[in-house]
Amino acid sequence: MPQELSSIPPFGGFGLGLRRPHYDDFLGPDTVPVDFVEVISENYMIEGGRQLRILEEVRERHSVILHGVSMSIGSAHGLEPDYLKRLKALAKRVEPLWISDHLCWTRTSAHNSHDLLPLPLTDEALEVVCDNIDQAQAALGRAMLFENPSSYLTFPEDEMREWEFLSEMARRTGCYLLLDVNNIYVASQNHGFSGQEYLAGLPLDRVRQIHLAGHDPSTAERPVIVDTHDREVSDPVWALYSDAMALIEQPVATMIERDENIPPLADLLYELDRARSASGVLEPA
């Protein structure tokens, strides 16, 4: 870690992703019973525009988390200075609880895939990731959170398990972890390990946020589970969430994440109440 970064204090709220179909709900006269909203950073990294104005209005009522999908922290070509500059400007504008992104790569020097592509779990890839995280945190002037990916394949070059990679990444860079419990479950079923083994191998004191989402189960024609984030949280994911909450000693922020087939807000709030119940927290903070 090249410089000392301020720590991210634990925060135990419950929130939702802010999606376009729910803008009117969050701007209406009734307060939405959430402790925070999370937004996709890239949707607001522009000067002016309706979406940024809406985010600023929502920010007057709720804390905001910035969650990126295009930093490409695993890129061998390094990070884009202009991207970091625009992200820092957005953070200054909305003063988020924190900024997060994914353990993945999304681009080469000439092409952006707009997809969260997997990394080989090797010492060489770990060096690249840690160098890029150091660069990002130095440019932003703050520690970040990074999310564990869903995965459907492994590389023959792999030298460690994913939880070992994440643990060493956090140790070297001082970053924190965004634990996507659905992604753990998806990967565990696709690769034949237990979610409990994954949790036991992580530095859980570095977890500051949890994502809960749905997935498409495997079928006879397609023997892998696909992370879709387009339906309700499944019972096995709820069970793994309960296991995680029993192991994590500090407060963490929990969020229901839905990216497709966006239902009415009331449906997501119902799931959020289930997360509160599983955590022993019955009312919004």
Q: Is residue 40 in a domain?
A: yes
210 and 241 Cβ atoms separated by less than 8 Å = yes
Q: Is residue 8 in a domain?
A: no
pLDDT over threshold 70, residue 109: no
CA gap 202, 262 in Å, rounded: 32
**What pLDDT is stored for residue 118 in this prediction?**
82
Q: Is residue 284 in a domain?
A: no
Closest CA to 16 of 262, 281, 240: 262
- Write down the mean pLDDT value for the chain: 92
Tokens coding 171 = 């140790």
42 and 82 Cβ atoms separated by less than 8 Å = no
As to burial, measured by CB atoms within 10 angstroms (0-12 exposed, 13-18 middle, 19+ buried), residue 142 is middle
Q: What DSSP assignment string belongs to 194-245?
A: -HHHHHHTS-GGGEEEEEE--EEPP-SS--S-EE---SPPPHHHHHHHHHHH
Residues 6+ apart with CB under 8 A from 80: 72
Rg of the chain over Cα atoms, rounded to whole angstroms, equals 18
Question: Could you report the per-residue pLDDT of 221-262, keeping only the tens digit for each?
Answer: 788 899 998 999 999 999 999 999 999 999 999 999 999 999
CA gap 96, 42 in Å, rounded: 14
Q: How many domains are there within the chain?
A: 1
Q: Is residue 179 in a domain?
A: yes
103-107, 142-146, 216-220, 267-271, range with the lowest pLDDT: 103-107
Question: Of residues 116 and 251, which shows the higher confidence score?
Answer: 251
CATH number, residue 68 = 3.20.20.150
Q: Is residue 82 in a domain?
A: yes
What is the number of other CB atoms lying within 10 angstroms of the CB of residue 157?
10
Q: Is residue 76 in a domain?
A: yes
Tokens coding 22 = 């729910």
**What pLDDT is stored for residue 115 in this prediction?**
56
Q: Is residue 4 in a domain?
A: no
Per-residue confidence band for 111, with pLDDT thresholds at 50, 70 and 90: very low
Closest CA to 226 of 194, 256, 260, 273: 260
Q: Is residue 219 in a domain?
A: yes
Question: Could you report the per-residue pLDDT of 16-28, keeping only the tens digit for each?
Answer: 999 999 999 999 9
What is the number of other CB atoms lying within 10 angstroms of the CB of residue 110?
6
Q: Which domain holds residue 186?
A: 14-279
- Positive or negative CA dihedral for 130, 118, 161, 100? positive
Residues 6+ apart with CB under 8 A from 122: 155, 157, 158, 159, 160
